[in-house]
Homo-oligomer: A and B are copies of this chain.
Amino acid sequence: LLRRKDRERSRRFLAEGPQAVREAIGAAAVEVLLVDEATRERHVDLIEAALARGIEVGAARSGELADLTETVTPQGVLAVCRFPEVSESAVWAQRPRLVVACADVRDPGNAGTVLRCADAFGADAVLLSRASVDPYNPKAVRASVGSVFHLPVITGLDLGALTSAARGAGLQVLAADGAGEAELPELERSGSLSRPALWLFGNEAWGLSPDVAALADVRVRVPLYGAAESLNLAAAAAVCLYATATAQQEAAPRTAKPVAPGDGRYLD
């Protein structure tokens, strides 16, 4: 499961360490829990939570977990998790108000961090284009700090089709673009940021390609007041999603998201 091909064929991925494993169990995503014999006593709560849900628990000899992962210190617990079984059409059917689409994110750490930001600001789903990195890559799962289990994550999508579907579901399509024609604070002041939105984010090095930027209703730049030429991807995503989620929340507070973790997205 260290290779994308193997993850996609088996529709399984790995979660490492107590925090990610706890989130995975909570999301009913775990198939098998492996615990290092030497650190078993530290993870009694996780073992009990897994057994209570009928999850198979296996003991691994010291060093075996490290062989199964890419991590030097796998923290004693490892879960084999199922891919969430959620479709893009199910996302649009729920009338989401904040959806994130990654056009070309290539670094797994960045993908995980964008996922974490999307989750933090209450996004209803994260969609990834075909050219993007695998969000179930172990580095991406680690960088997401559990968020990969909190909201629907769908991969391998066509950006043209998904922007059309977003419009059909009543969302405006915004693209984060350093050369965009609109400035984020302007949209905030005009009130348009409180409308349901799909945000498009581009590649960490070269941003959005012109054809992807053209799919958006508005290309939006984060104002830069200093000498830096750009923000890194995760920082730009954090700022755009914070501004949008806050504007939406002020216009119409909501407490529960339409698609919540553990509501059947994971088919047991």
A121: chain B residues within 8 A (beta carbon): 224-226
A170 to chain B, nearest CB (A): 19
Q: Is the CB of A238 within 8 A of B231?
A: yes
Q: With the chains together, A61 CA to B261 CA distance in Å?
A: 57
Q: Which of A145-192 contact B (CB under 8 A)?
A: 145-147, 150-151, 185
- Chain B residues with Cβ below 8 Å from A185 are 246, 250
| Partner-binding segment picked from A6-14, A81-89, A111-119 | A111-119
Query: Is residue A122 contacting chain B, with contact meaning CB distance below 8 A?
Result: yes
Instruction: Tell me whether A232 and B234 are in contact (CB under 8 A).
Output: yes
Bound-state CA distance A147–B121 (Å) is: 28
- Are A145 and B228 within 8 A (Cβ)? yes
Name the distance in Å between A264's Cβ and chain B's nearest Cβ.
Answer: 16
**Residues of chain B contacted by A223 (CB below 8 angstroms):** 245-246, 249
* B-contact 0/1 string along A122-164, CB 8 Å cutoff: 1100000000000000000000011100110000000000000
Min C-beta distance of A168 to chain B, whole Å: 24
| Max chain B C-beta neighbours (<10 A), residue from A185, A222, A239, A257 | A239
Give every chain B residue within 8 A of A222 (Cβ-Cβ).
120, 242
- Do residues B113 and A228 form an inter-chain contact, with CB atoms below 8 A? no
Contact B227 A116 (CB under 8 A): no
Contact B225–A249 (Cβ < 8 Å): yes
A239 to B230: give the CA distance in the assembly, Å: 15
Instruction: Tell me, rounded to whole Å, the shortest Cβ–Cβ distance linking A98 to chain B.
Output: 9
Interface, chain A (partner B; CB < 8 A):
113, 116-123, 145-147, 150-151, 185, 222-232, 234-239, 242-243, 245-246, 249-250, 257, 261
